[in-house]
Chains A and B, each alone.
Chain A
Amino acid sequence: QKEVEQDPGPLSVPEGAIVSLNCTYSNSAFQYFMWYRQYSRKGPELLMYTYSSGNKEDGRFTAQVDKSSKYISLFIRDSQPSDSATYLCAMSGPDDYKLSFGAGTTVTVRA
């Protein structure tokens, strides 16, 4: 069983739709949760960084963490074609700075 599970998609939505992405994990020690966006042939770009459970909003992006269910989500509102990319979840423990990544979900926003 993988430590972090993420559906690779692909996911295709029309412009303006809400994109919903999620990851599940098995390690209950994870405390720090991140979402990265990666365009083709580029490095991962940090989108959201959250600690423990709760919600965090930044513009059109909302990250949610439910530690009791070992489940994290990323929502993108009013999606734009420029949001088309691969989205990676990543997480680490309190004393473990190593990031464990999901496989990434490929998202296409159709104009």
Chain B
Amino acid sequence: EAGVTQFPSHSVIEKGQTVTLRCDPISGHDNLYWYRRVMGKEIKFLLHFVKESKQDESGMPNNRFLAERTGGTYSTLKVQPAELEDSGVYFCASSPRENTEAFFGQGTRLTVV
């Protein structure tokens, strides 16, 4: 069974540009989460989808971040325009139900220069 897959694995963009990260969860997992780890800090929650609906986006840093999950399958996280402080590793995770084991992808390392 395929795990959680994230694309790209690494992205380097200039300040002010737009970047879109993609996450393909484990098939059949209704719950999809985005997390972020900035350098020297803990992994922090960004938002949670149940199927195609945003359940909680309280961790989103600001309105430059937009997450979507059309059709309840894969999800995208767009940063527009990117700032230097957005650099970090963005992780996606999925679980079959809430409060069950969450499985993480390998992460997308975003560098804004």
Interface residues of A (CB under 8 A from B): 2, 4, 31-32, 34, 36, 41-46, 49, 88, 90, 92, 94, 97-104
Contact at A94–B99, with CB atoms within 8 Å?
yes
Interface residues of B (CB under 8 A from A): 4, 6, 31, 33, 35, 41-45, 48, 55-56, 59, 91, 95, 98-99, 101-107, 109
Residues of A within 8 Å of B31, CB to CB, are 97
CB < 8 Å neighbour of B107 from A43, A90, A97? A43
* Chain A residue, CB-CB nearest to B59: A98
Contact at A44–B99, with CB atoms within 8 Å?
no
Smallest beta-carbon distance A90→chain B, Å: 8
Contact at A43–B105, with CB atoms within 8 Å?
yes
Residues of B within 8 Å of A34, CB to CB, are 101-102
Residues of B within 8 Å of A44, CB to CB, are 43, 91, 104
Contact at A99–B106, with CB atoms within 8 Å?
no
Residues of B within 8 Å of A43, CB to CB, are 4, 6, 91, 104-107
CA distance in complex: A44, B105 (Å): 8
7 other A-B residue contacts (CB within 8 Å) besides A31-B99, A43-B105: A43-B4, A43-B91, A43-B104, A88-B43, A97-B99, A99-B33, A99-B35
Smallest beta-carbon distance A35→chain B, Å: 11
Contact at A101–B99, with CB atoms within 8 Å?
no
Contact at B43–A101, with CB atoms within 8 Å?
yes
Contact at A2–B42, with CB atoms within 8 Å?
yes
Residues of A within 8 Å of B98, CB to CB, are 97
- Interface centre among A42, A44, A99, by most chain B C-beta atoms within 10 angstroms, is A44
Smallest beta-carbon distance B104→chain A, Å: 4
Contact at A98–B104, with CB atoms within 8 Å?
no
